[in-house]
Structure 1
Amino acid sequence: MTPRPALPIGGLANARDLGGLERRDGTTTPAGVFYRSESLEHVTADGWDTIRELGVATIVDLRRPVERTACVPEDIDLVAVDLDGDHPEFWAPLEEDGTWGTPLYYPAHLAELPHRMRGVLDAIARARTGAVLFHCAAGWDRTGFVSAVLLSALDVTVEAAAADYLTSFRNADAMATLHGHTSQVDVRIAVLARRGHTPDSGFRAVYEGIDLAEWFALAEVEPATRDAITTWRGAVAASGPRPV
């Protein structure tokens, strides 16, 4: 499985474009619409210039309030949307068994905390003209979750979506060197193994189970947001039955 190319942004090691991924109809996702990355605290001045050259107009920070730092230049919009939320009854068991560091928690999150992902998608839909870059801390779990939803919206193949997810594993050493802390790859792999999965199979199982039409209804997603997400902010034509 070919890893996704990292974007040459100074101060980032896990940044990439969600464009160029194969869809089930044989086309590919459009480039320059959505970018994903880890936290931006180490982005250099040249790195910010590159981000501007990529067309990024809005950054969506998925982290909890206590994690956030003010580092985004004033000419780029910053929207903070807490994807986790303050829900100890939901997170405590996941933090105890380590599942929070894997895609295995995504289905429960979509089902039990639908307003959290809805808030992220609303922010993406309402962003001003230009590309959107979204990130969490390592650009792995929360960022991977949002990426999975966006890729599902364009019917990206399981193979291509899994390749994007697994790229964070390949970037882990570079992130550790750059940011000075580990992403605990061995722990993630061990947690998945205890549940009969590899990183690849765990992501695939979750991704194949995403039914966006059903979830849009559950989460009461506004029509304007549905349209923005299923067309990648107008970058592709709508196809298939419209979610109800």
Structure 2
Amino acid sequence: MSHPPLDIPGLANARDLGGLQRQDGTVTPHGVFIRSDAPDLVSPEGWDLLRERGIATVVDLRRPEERTPGAPGDIDVIAVDLDGAERDFWEPLEADGRWGTPLYYVPHLTDLPHRMAGVLQAIATARPGGILFHCAAGWDRTGLVTMMLLRALDVTTEAARLDYATSFANAAAMEALRSRSQHAEERRAVLARFGHTPESAFTDAYESLDLEEWSKSAGLDPDVLLALRTWRSSAPAT
């Protein structure tokens, strides 16, 4: 099962990626990675709760024009634009709606590998402590990075799929927090046009990912890959 949502004031789509089932029967360690929606509404009390969970670094995956202040001064913030501005890549995906679904994950990793490599480099080399990574809603950019992290620790497809689906379950809470639609039904409709559900689209992307081969093609530094394979030295390498 996916880990229960975190009760952090100002976040509606946050969860610790610990406790997810791995293929070897163990589970992922807690306190290493938290995925979330943008933390710009987190209260001082919320930041205290995140500090108690060991968060030392925030990795912001948003485009430069989307970024907002939010983290207090004692929390490192690393901004890495996962999307990029490669319009030839994004225009067809935006035209047919795939940009907001896992249907763009594999093309993104294939066509823009340097974008993900930059994010993984930032995660691997951040200072000691837990990492919270986010985009705006904490849904698909955050979901793509989560896919890489869960693959690195050989998390089962079922556990990874359930984690992805949790964002749909959290959509109403996100809408209430931010007073705007998260377009959950539109996402489902796009996926249906391509013969998918959210779960099946994520499963296809997850099961197609060969992290070792991708890392070679992306020119990922071996030390970065090792940091991913051990979740920053918190678990034995797979």
Q: TM-score range by the shorter chain?
A: over 0.9
Q: Which moved more, 1:29-38 or 1:3-12?
A: 3-12
- 5+ residue gaps, structure 2: none
- 1:4 CA drift (Å): 3.7
Corresponding residue for 1:200?
199
Do the aligned residues in 2 keep the contact of 1:3 with 1:166 (CA within 8 Å)? Answer: no
- SS state of the match for residue 41, structure 1? helix
Determine what percentage of the aligned residue pairs are the same residue: 59
Residues 1:30 and 2:13 are matched in the alignment: no
**Residue equivalent to 2:65:** 66
Partner residue, 2:150:
151
Q: Contact 2:2 / 2:19 at 8 angstroms: preserved in 1?
A: no
Which residue of structure 1 lines up, in the alignment, with residue 82 of structure 2? 83
Report the aligned-residue RMSD: 0.8
Cα distance in 2, alignment partners of residues 154 and 104 from structure 1? 22
Report the alpha carbon displacement of residue 185 of structure 1 after superposing the two structures with TM: 0.6
Counterpart residue number, 1:242: none
Provide the rounded CA distance (Å) in 2 between the counterparts of 1:3 and 1:130: 22
Is contact 2:6-2:14 (8 Å) kept? yes
Q: In structure 2, how many angstroms separate the alpha carbons of the residues matched to 1:236 and 1:59?
A: 21
The residue type equivalent to 1:78 in the other structure is V
The residue that corresponds to 1:136 in the other structure is 135
Partner of 1:182: 181
Structure 1: give runs of 5+ residues left out of the alignment: 240-244
Q: Secondary structure at the match of 2:27?
A: coil
* Aligned residue identity for 1:138: A
Tell me which residue corresponds to 2:96: 97
- Amino acid in the other structure paired with 2:68: T
TM norm structure 1: 0.96
Moved runs in structure 1, 4+ residues, more than 4 A?
none
User: Is the Cα–Cα contact under 8 Å of residues 3 and 170 in structure 1 kept in the other structure?
Assistant: no
Mapped pair 1:117 → 2:102: no
Change (3 A) 1:53 1:69: same
What residue in structure 2 maps to residue 222 of structure 1? 221
1:54 aligns with 2:53: yes
Q: Contact 2:80/2:118 (CA < 8 Å) preserved in 1?
A: yes
Aligned residues: 238
The one-letter amino acid paired with 1:134 is F
Is the contact made by 1:4 and 1:163 (CA closer than 8 Å) also made in structure 2? Answer: no
Cα deviation, residue 21, structure 1: 0.3
- Secondary structure class of the residue paired with 1:14: coil
